[in-house]
Structure 1
Amino acid sequence: MTLTPSRSPCGALKATIAGETCLLRCSGAMYVVAHDVLIVADLHLEKGSSFAVRGQMLPPYDSAATLARLEDEIAELNPARVVLLGDSFHDSRSIPRMAEADRARLERMAFGRQWLWLEGNHDREALGAGLDRLPGAVIETLAVGTLRLVHEPRPGDQFGEVAGHLHPAAKVAAYNRSVRRPCFLTDGRRIILPAFGAFTGGLNVKDAAFSGLFATRPMAAALGRDRVHALAWTSLL
């Protein structure tokens, strides 16, 4: 399948994934146009408070910052469905640690639309125990047109798979130094989304964890401040 991304007026890349037109947004969210679905992966809410419990102090504002970015995406696109693609919470006790203001923000965002939490390896226990405190429903996987949404990418050529989990990041040389940015990774048949959370970091797409996931060399769609940059595999470090 030939991947031919084009620039959207909002700075996103418009790409066809398994026959579905998708907008790869600067925030790291993906919008499936024909189905009015917004997808984000790996929020890792309450990661800062999780580290604090273990004695490693981080600024306790990651959940608020992450939810504010998601709120901006929802305000702009007004999607009928929002799918959180797993690892939305960092550990099993994240939901009780959430500030009331952050839980109220979730309720406001979910109001009037379908809100779906897809289970990830970090938050399966949290979602099982805390759904009464959250809007929406918990699912294991979801079909959206020709796309199949999962948390962790499966090995081999998985046509239509949309996954997170690996936190892909692209590394390139620019201005006599290396630059590393979160990115989408796709060959037009499947796609791996960048982590959406404020404290999530990224794994270089040249890491062995990505080996064998794509039938052909994928494109990295790196997140910039106001646009997503399509990068050829051969340009990556």
Structure 2
Amino acid sequence: MSAGIDFADIVIEGETLRLLPQRAIYWPARQTLMIADIHFGKAAAFRARGVPVPHGTTAQNLALIDALLQAHAAEHIVFLGDFLHSRAVQGTASLRTLQQWRDAHADLRLTLVRGNHDAHAGDPPAALRMDIVDEPFCIGPFACCHHPEPRPDAYVLAGHVHPVYRLAAGGDSLRLPCFLFGERGAVLPSFGAFTGGYAVTPKEGERLFVAAEDAVFEVPTR
């Protein structure tokens, strides 16, 4: 890792998962990155409706993935749903930028677990060379899903919720993306720029880790 960047490790089902401040999980034993809710094309969809939102979110997301690939020995990325935001992104500059990135990472394995937005947007073009599957995508002791619904035979890693946590101190407050781990499943924060968040409150027995700009740290919940 680069100097000044701190991750947090958690052991689930005997496997070490590395929680990264870039709002992703790295599984060293399988050289796999897990990314939830990247929502490529969301900003473009808003601009198409006349809403003035920033340009460049696709390039920003891809640059963040590149930084992770440089910092870790990842050979596989599992996208936990909502890869494309809507059907409007098909055939746009966002997909052309994605194709250029894919061509630069020809040896990287990509798996997309379809989410609810993917059902409406349609599958990414075949030229992106992604394995596209319905949930669950089972690998080791984990069921990689989009929806955080428990399963009897595996520990679920999911997205969909875009969890954030409100930290408060001395009259100030801050909402930060977070990872939420329960007994039989975990929810990852949204990876994508311009995706918003849903405030969560951990239940008894759950562990919550917030992702700040350069560190991940556990928040005591009791």
Partner-residue secondary structure (3-state), 2:90:
helix
1:131 matched residue in structure 2:
125
Q: Identify unmatched segments of 5+ residues in structure 1.
A: 1-8
1:88, CA displacement in angstroms?
1.1
Any idea what the Cα deviations from partners look like across 1:16-74, whole Å, max 9, x if unmatched? 12322100001011011211111000001111110011111211211111111111111
* Structure 2 unaligned spans of 5+: none
Q: Give 2:212's aligned residue.
A: 224
2: distance between equivalents of 1:223 and 1:188?
A: 21
- Paired with 2:153 and 2:54, the residues of 1 have a C-alpha distance of 39
Verify the 8 A CA contact 1:20 1:145 in the aligned structure 2.
no
Are 2:175 and 1:180 equivalent residues in the alignment?
Answer: yes
Aligned residues: 217
Which position in structure 1 is the counterpart of 2:100? 104
> Residues 117-167 of structure 1: CA distance to partner in whole angstroms, max 9, x if unpaired?
111100124343x42242322111311210110001115888510000000
Q: Secondary structure at the match of 2:116?
A: coil
Give the aligned residue type for 2:100.
A
| Equivalent-residue separation in structure 1 for 2:174 and 2:151 (angstroms) | 29
Listed one character per residue, the Cα deviations across residues 86-120 of structure 1 (whole Å, up to 9, x for unaligned) are: 001111221322342342013323x2121111111
SS of equivalent residue, structure 1 residue 123: helix
User: SS at 2:117's partner residue?
Assistant: coil
- Structure 2 residue matching 1:31: 3-state secondary structure: strand
Alignment of 1:66-77 (within 5 A): 66-77=61-72
CA distance in 2 between counterparts of 1:60 and 1:89 reads: 16
Counterpart of 2:78, as a letter, is V
Match of 2:60 in 1: 65
Letter aligned with residue 193 of structure 2 = A
Of the structure 1 ranges 58-67 and 118-127, higher mean CA displacement relative to structure 2 is found in 118-127
- The alignment partner of 1:170 has SS state of strand
Q: Which residue of 1 aligns with 2:16?
A: 21
Q: Which runs of 4+ in 1 moved over 4 A?
A: 155-159
Residue 190 of structure 2: aligned partner: 195
Structure-1 separation of matches of 2:34 and 2:103: 17
Give 1:13 deviation, angstroms: 0.5
TM-score by length of 2: 0.89
Kindly tell me: are residues 203 and 158 of structure 1, through their superposed partners in 2, closer, same or farther at Cα, counting changes over 3 Å?
A: farther
**In 2, distance between residues paired with 1:196 and 1:124?**
19
Q: Which whole-Å CA distance do the structure 1 matches of 2:153 and 2:8 have between them?
A: 22
Q: Distance in 2 between matches of 1:202 and 1:95?
A: 25
